[in-house]
Amino acid sequence: MTSPGDEALPLAEPDDDLGGDPVCWLDRVCPDCGLFLTDRTASTCPRCGAARDR
Ligand SMILES: [Zn+2]
C-alpha cells in the first residue's frame, strides 16, 4: 500500500489576525469613493475630498 503522505490537516484554517467583522472598518472607508482611510484623524477624504461623518 502507498500512503499519500504524512498526516495533513485538510481543515487548516488561516489565521485571522484582523479579528472582527468587516463592519468594524466600514467607518474607515470613504462612503464616496471607497478609499480606505488609514488616517482616522482626517476629517476629509484625501482622494475625493468628501467630508466624513465622524
Ligand atoms: Zn473619498
Q: What is the pLDDT, as a whole number, of residue 37?
A: 86
Higher pLDDT, 28 or 18: 28
pLDDT of 18 over the 60 cut: no
Instruction: Report, as an integer, the average pLDDT of 17-34.
Output: 74
Cα–Cα distance for residue pair 42/54, rounded to 1 Å: 9
- Distance in Å, CA 22 to ligand 1 centroid: 18
pLDDT of 5 over the 80 cut: no
- Distance in Å, CA 18 to ligand 1 centroid: 23
- Distance in Å, CA 31 to ligand 1 centroid: 7
| Cα dihedral 27, 31, 29, 21 sign | positive
Answer for the pair 36, 43: CB distance below 8 angstroms, yes or no.
no
The pTM (predicted TM-score) of the whole model is 0.47
Answer for the pair 44, 52: CB distance below 8 angstroms, yes or no.
yes
Answer for the pair 44, 51: CB distance below 8 angstroms, yes or no.
yes
Place of cell 465622524: 54
